[in-house]
Amino acid sequence: MPEPLRKILVVQHVPHEPLGTLDKLLRTHKIRIKFVNFSRHPDAVPDIAGYDALIVLGGPMNVDEAHLHPHLRTELRLLEAALRADLPILGICLGAQLLAHVLGAHVGRNRTQELGWHEVRLTAAGQEDPALRHLATGRHVFHWHGDTFGIPQGAALLAESDLCAHQAFRYGRHAYGLQFHLEADEPVIDRWLRIYHDDLTRAQGAEAVQRIRRETRTHLPPMRALGDAVFSDLLRFFGWQERTGPIQLGHRMTVPIPRFD
């Protein structure tokens, strides 16, 4: 069984992309959270030593913009260190793209922006995954991205959608990348609709904001329950509580990890 989680390092890129519903879940289980907020401290150089897991959140920057956001190189080295230490990792949106990039997969523009509520489907591997199995086919989840990740060599594709073929992957025993935002709650979504109003209307038209608000009233309650189930099992698998039976999961890392010096 995994050792109990005590302290998680959380990488945050901008104030309006927080842990969301994950914050309450972590605190409920008395897991200490250490934030590295690169919008406030762009020159921070966090060390994974002393932490039991790593969470890298989303952000408006892209993986190929390290010339504009030098902290992205710091994050790549941090993810590399966490992988080498075999620590549990959860990457969300940009965090998933950075994780895929560290593992040697291509990250670039998706064929279209995926903004708002869209359905996702589990693959066969996703249906057997101890956490993503809750994500029943046809369930709407919240998205906000224009880029996408390839699936790293040796990783399992867990979920897909009509607009984006790669929605979630697991690498090795416990490194997960999620393109969508199960952690988003109503205040987060409302804030994004205000901050990214112009980008959204350019992409989807003047009615997009009100449409997403209406869809949020319908889809957010079931997604909140879904997120609690997925994240609870994910954290249980990461180690916050022992399971009653064995978990049969994949393998350890099987491909070299590029160095980002």
User: Which are the contacts of 173, defined by CB distance < 8 A and separation ≥ 6?
Assistant: 86, 249, 250, 251, 252
The angle subtended at Cα 33 by Cα 131 and Cα 143, nearest 5°, is: 50
Q: Are 111 and 146 in contact (CB under 8 A)?
A: no
Catalytic residue among 17, 75, 80, 183: 183
Q: Is 93 a catalytic residue?
A: yes
Q: Is 183 a catalytic residue?
A: yes
Instruction: Report the run of H or E that residue 192 belongs to, with start and end.
Output: helix 186-195
Catalytic residue among 101, 140, 181, 219: 181
Residue (of 109, 135, 102, 101) closest to 121 by Cα position: 135
User: Which are the contacts of 146, defined by CB distance < 8 A and separation ≥ 6?
Assistant: 109, 110, 113, 114
Place of tokens 């989303």: 58
Instruction: Report the run of H or E that residue 97 belongs to, with start and end.
Output: helix 94-102
The tokens for 14 are 């901008």
Catalytic residue among 93, 114, 164, 219: 93
Q: Is 164 a catalytic residue?
A: no
Catalytic residues: 93, 181, 183
